[in-house]
Amino acid sequence: MRAIVTGAAGFIGFHLCKRLLKEGYEVYGIDNLNKYYDVSLKKARVKQLKQNINREYSLGSFVFDVINLEDSKSLKESFNFFKPDIVFNLAAQAGVRYSIENPSAYINSNLVGFGNILENCRNNKVDNLIYASSSSVYGGNEKLPFSEDDSVDHPISLYAASKRANELMAHTYSHLYNIPATGLRFFTVYGPWGRPDMALFLFTKAILNSEPINIFNNGKMIRDFTYIDDIVESLFRLSKKPARSDLGFDKTKPKASTSWAPHRIFNIGNSNPIKLIDYIKAIEEELGIKAQKIMRDMQPGDVEATSANTAKLEDWINFKPQTSVKFGVKKFINWYKNYYGF
């Protein structure tokens, strides 16, 4: 199998590449190495993939290029050169709050860039497209847990709107060109090599450096934290089971999660949401240090609670993410201390 992974230097992309290489895939990694967060961390991920290719992951092969998805010429050349069977589109301008400060980055990467991905999948007759959506598409919804068939018409950030747009764009291409496409609504992914802008990384860094941590919404946030290994296992299983048409789809009573076209949407979360304050407690216990806490109001673009109903994904791939927060936090902190020399 020949797989293109966009966002290969990112958190999820890096871990997915490791798994695909171990399984014997030929992998073409693409990333623009933007400066949204520490570029040296992204380069370290790529370096590890290249270093391990002849040892731990010797079954597969790995090529890496620095490309912007909105660079249609370079992207087209990459697809024409590699001729992928499957595409994992994990590249995007990330961050809910940053979308308020820099909207053009989201329009260029998440909309123009994803449009280029779809065009190249069409022109190269790709067998399976798996792309990252987000739990943020549920916007102002307060009914928990979130179901794929709930309304997603009320986003509260441009990031969320761009991810919902991706789902609609992918469905259109599935309908017009019969491209099997699966959209995944990720719920707060965490683990080793994680993103520095995410809560676990920020809190661990601050606590180890005796700095206070900001806790928004006065600690009342609830999140469905999902461990990276569960995400990768789900992605790998989906690589073996492309989306297909729902033969029982009723256009008089349409559901958002399936279609007459070969397009599916799944939640991918732990289905065991916890309070942010309990997440912080797990970090404190693993570090053996009490955090200095500063309570803050809710930030623009944030939602108070997320919770995933993952029944459809479990039925589709026969797997349920279930790694405990205690285990996941321990694995991250062990990596963090080793990587940063604590």
Positions marked catalytic: 159
Query: Which residue, among 215, 216, 250, 208, has the nearest Cα to 340 in the 3D structure?
Result: 208
CB atoms within 10 A of CB 246: 16
Give the span between the Cα atoms of 7 and 319, in whole angstroms: 24
**Omega before 196 within 30 of 0, i.e. cis:** no
CB-based burial label for 32 (10 Å; 0-12, 13-18, 19+)? buried
Q: Measured in whole angstroms, how far is the alpha carbon of residue 147 from the centre of its chain?
A: 18
H or E element at residue 166: helix 158-177
E strand spans, the chain: 2-6, 26-31, 61-66, 86-89, 128-134, 181-186, 189-190, 213-215, 222-223, 226-227, 263-268, 274-275, 293-295
The candidate with the shortest Cα–Cα distance to 144, out of 322, 230, 271, 258, is: 271
Contact status, residue 241 vs residue 282, Cβ threshold 8 Å: no
The residues with which 185 forms a beta bridge, in sequence order, are 133, 267
As beta bridge partners, residue 30 has: 6, 65
| Residue 222, beta-bridge partner list | 275, 305
Residue 315 phi/psi, 5-degree rounding, is -70, -35
Provide the 8-state DSSP code for 220.
T
Please, which residues bridge with residue 3 across strands? 27, 86
Residue 266's DSSP bridge partners are: 184
